[in-house]
């Protein structure tokens, strides 16, 4: 039998990578808290309809990337490809719309059947925020500021750029759409087959096309900017003014559209050139029609999601975990005492690695292997004399420490290593 492999596009998060992920999540969580966002989680799978209509039938995600299956009861469910639709579903099903504004932070795995490559997986992880119930551009500004702060705190701000665009409100979008259809229709023979299909259903998706020929045509396509009504224009001005006030730099990108159907007004991405083709680390925008589309009241919303794998690749190595104390029994008779001592030290907040078997030499090798800072050796002789041996594993220095009931001396000595 061949060795079992993980499914294509999935990967194990071995300790070093898991530590990077944790650093990203904890940094984001702490920053989100500073802005008053509270953490929540939705299920990893939902009824397919939670994603299909909101994300848009003709998006890549719904058309070809969803993990959809019938469960044993015959229900059609889908592994979540993103989390905004799930959060909005949760707002609607829990009746939370009463208490807006809602400010949520989340993190967790997402699933898309994509072609795996560097920075692109079939199971990947996102952090994200949603701010629901605020129509003012201040919400867009704060959501972007939070994203920017997280990238800053992760030490990657220098390596990413904020790209900004506006899609306008639904009236402006409709006017733009009409112009787009006219423009692309006149060039339909030059479009890729995929884009020809998009033209009928959702012409904006052509902007997303990765085909060279499409991209050339897109270059001269009608721009949102020329179709914005005055309300949309004013909204965008205020978003930019807010970012300017906070000193958050951005580059306007008139071609920036988001992959999903439900966006209005602000669209943005933080991008880097340091990850090859998979350069978008964080993307988001405003989704004013989504809550209503999903059966809730007409509530506006704005948010973003960021790929944890991509951020984890960009950050510098996070600090190593604390080096443990190795508690080493000398001989079987001391194992009980070692077990108790390990627990007492842990009660006091010391990380302890207890070697489980083998002679002293083998356990010391284990202590080295786990990068222990000190070893506490305890044998029959030590038990009788009420002492332990304390060895500094960096210097090799060893000395005896008296053991009273409260371990006062041992604690004092260890404090030098575990302040």
Q: At what angle do helices 193-201 and 170-185 cross, to 10 degrees?
A: 140
Tokens matching residue 93: 């099903």
> Which of 237, 234, 204 minimizes the C-alpha distance to 221?
204
Taking CB under 6 A as the binding criterion, the range among 71-79, 166-174, 237-245, 281-289 that sits at the site for ligand ATP is 281-289
Q: Which is nearer to ligand ATP, 281 or 364 (CB)?
A: 281
195 CA to centre of own chain: 31
Q: Which of residues 105-134 bind ligand ATP (CB under 6 A)?
A: 112, 114, 119-121, 124, 126
Report the alpha-carbon distance of residue 91 to residue 361 in Å, rounded.
Answer: 59
**Cα dihedral value 307, 308, 309, 315, nearest 10:** 120
- Alpha-helical segments (H) within 286-407: 290-293, 308-314, 335-347, 360-369, 380-385
Q: Which of 56, 133, 147, 283 binds ligand ATP (CB under 6 A)?
A: 283
The nearest distance, CB 17 to ligand ATP, in angstroms, is: 13
Q: Which of residues 294-313 bind ligand ATP (CB under 6 A)?
A: 305-307, 309-310
Report the alpha-carbon distance of residue 285 to residue 72 in Å, rounded.
Answer: 37
Most distant CA pair in the chain, distance: 95
Q: Which is nearer to ligand ATP, 305 or 372 (CB)?
A: 305
Question: Could you say whether residue 82 binds ligand ATP (CB under 6 A)?
Answer: yes
The nearest distance, CB 263 to ligand ATP, in angstroms, is: 10
Q: Which is nearer to ligand ATP, 253 or 278 (CB)?
A: 278
Question: Could you say whether residue 90 binds ligand ATP (CB under 6 A)?
Answer: no
Q: Which is nearer to ligand ATP, 54 or 355 (CB)?
A: 54
DSSP element (H, E) containing 108: strand 102-111
The single residue listed with the structure tokens 């070893």 is 375
Q: Which of residues 326-385 bind ligand ATP (CB under 6 A)?
A: none
The nearest distance, CB 356 to ligand ATP, in angstroms, is: 38
DSSP element (H, E) containing 219: helix 212-219
Taking CB under 6 A as the binding criterion, the range among 171-179, 181-189, 274-282, 287-295 that sits at the site for ligand ATP is 274-282
The single residue listed with the structure tokens 């994200």 is 128
Burial of 357 (0-12, 13-18, 19+ CB in 10 A): exposed
Question: Could you say whether residue 286 binds ligand ATP (CB under 6 A)?
Answer: no
The nearest distance, CB 373 to ligand ATP, in angstroms, is: 37
265 touches 235 (CB < 8 A) = yes
Beta strand 352-354 with 325-330 is: parallel
Question: Could you say whether residue 161 binds ligand ATP (CB under 6 A)?
Answer: no
The nearest distance, CB 223 to ligand ATP, in angstroms, is: 20
Residues 6+ apart with CB under 8 A from 174: none
The nearest distance, CB 174 to ligand ATP, in angstroms, is: 23
Q: Which is nearer to ligand ATP, 232 or 280 (CB)?
A: 280
Q: Which of 52, 281, 291, 403 binds ligand ATP (CB under 6 A)?
A: 281
Chain contacts with ligand ATP (rule: CB under 6 A): 82, 112, 114, 119-121, 124, 126, 259, 278, 280-283, 305-307, 309-310
């Amino acid at each position: 039998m061949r060795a079992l492999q993980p499914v294509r596009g999935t990967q194990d998060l071995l300790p070093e990578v898991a530590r990077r992920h944790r650093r990203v999540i904890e940094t984001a969580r702490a920053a989100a808290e500073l802005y008053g966002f509270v953490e929540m989680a939705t299920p990893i799978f939902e009824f397919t309809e939670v994603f299909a209509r909101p994300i848009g039938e003709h998006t890549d995600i719904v058309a070809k990337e969803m993990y959809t299956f019938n469960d044993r009861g015959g229900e059609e469910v889908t592994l979540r490809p993103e989390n905004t639709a799930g959060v909005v579903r949760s707002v609607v099903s829990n009746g939370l719309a009463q208490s807006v504004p809602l400010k949520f932070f989340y993190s967790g795995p997402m699933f898309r059947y994509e072609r795996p490559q560097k920075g692109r997986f079939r199971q990947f992880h996102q952090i994200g925020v949603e701010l629901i119930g605020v129509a003012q551009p201040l919400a867009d500004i704060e959501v972007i500021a939070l994203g920017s702060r997280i990238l800053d705190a992760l030490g990657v701000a220098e390596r990413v750029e904020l790209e900004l665009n506006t899609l306008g409100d639904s009236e402006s979008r409709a006017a733009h759409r009409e112009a787009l259809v006219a423009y692309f229709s006149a060039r339909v023979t030059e479009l890729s087959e995929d884009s020809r299909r998009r033209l009928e259903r959702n012409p904006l998706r052509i902007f997303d096309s990765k085909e060279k020929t499409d991209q050339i045509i897109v270059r001269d396509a009608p721009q949102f900017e020329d179709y914005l009504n005055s309300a949309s224009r004013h909204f965008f001005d205020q978003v930019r003014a807010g970012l300017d006030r906070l000193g958050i730099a951005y580059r306007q990108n008139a071609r920036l559209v988001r992959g999903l159907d439900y966006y209005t007004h602000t669209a943005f991405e933080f991008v880097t050139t340091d990850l090859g083709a998979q350069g978008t680390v964080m993307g988001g925008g405003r989704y004013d029609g989504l809550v209503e589309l999903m059966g809730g009241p007409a509530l506006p919303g704005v948010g973003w999601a960021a790929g944890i794998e991509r951020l984890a690749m960009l950050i510098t190595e996070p600090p190593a975990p604390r080096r443990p104390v190795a508690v080493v029994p000398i001989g079987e008779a001391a194992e009980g005492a070692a077990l108790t001592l390990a627990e007492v030290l842990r009660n006091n907040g010391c990380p302890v690695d207890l070697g489980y078997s083998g002679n002293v030499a083998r356990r010391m090798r284990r202590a080295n292997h786990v990068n222990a800072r000190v070893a506490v050796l305890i044998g029959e002789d030590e038990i009788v004399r009420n002492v332990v041996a304390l060895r500094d594993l960096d210097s090799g220095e060893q000395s005896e420490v008296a053991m009273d009931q409260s371990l006062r001396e041992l604690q004092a000595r260890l404090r030098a290593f575990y302040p």
